[in-house]
Amino acid sequence: MSLLMVACGVGAAGQAPAFKASPSMNFFVTSKGLGDGVNLGGIAGADYHCQQLAAAAGSQRTFYAYLSTRPANGTTTLHGKDRIGPGPFFNARGTLVAQSVADLHGKAEGFSKESALTERGELVAMHDILTGSKPDGTAYTDGMDHTCNGYTSNRANGAVQLGHSDKSTGSSWNSAHASKGCSQANLASTGGAGQFYCFSID
């Protein structure tokens, strides 16, 4: 490898080094889903995915998936807003997204297409994001399943609540509309790829 290649940070194969997230990153959108519709392996599987992606981006923080669920899904009630730290929240490039949990679930003026980035610091191509949450970040209590059976279903029936990462047309980042089903094709039909939000708890 030449000194020039080393100086420019280029590897032996002529490729640029992998992106390394800002040390302040405590929020990101997963760069990819699990490819099996809303079957994430439950909350535990989603948390594991967050952790793996964060570690690959160079973070040493502990990340949880921003997902809500209910006792009928075989677990205790979990609220997305309780699975995140107190803030402030920064993306992979170190840009402030929200000052606090209240700000995030209020006006969230810093949350946009340009700031809701993946752990690689990239824009999100398909804006439908799995949350299973109401706008205030809590789980639904209307007796309906808004989580595709606790994030374990990839079937055409059922639904999961979705947010819009780009807040297009003034929509909610965490509770814009329900999916048309739980399969990968169902998610793609309205602009999703099974991605979800991850927040550091430390």
* Domains annotated on the chain, with CATH: 22-200 (3.10.100.10)
Identity at 36, one-letter amino acid code: D
Section 92-102 average pLDDT: 98
Position 41 scores a pLDDT of 97
pLDDT classification of 4: cutoffs 50, 70, 90: very low
Please state whether 50 falls in left (phi above 0), alpha (psi between -120 and 50) or beta.
alpha
Q: What pLDDT is stored for residue 17 in this prediction?
A: 57
- pTM given for the model: 0.90
Span 71-87, average pLDDT: 89
The contacts of residue 25 (CB under 8 Å, 6+ apart) are: 54, 57, 59, 61, 90, 91, 92, 94, 119, 200
Question: Could you give the percent of the chain with pLDDT greater than 90?
Answer: 86
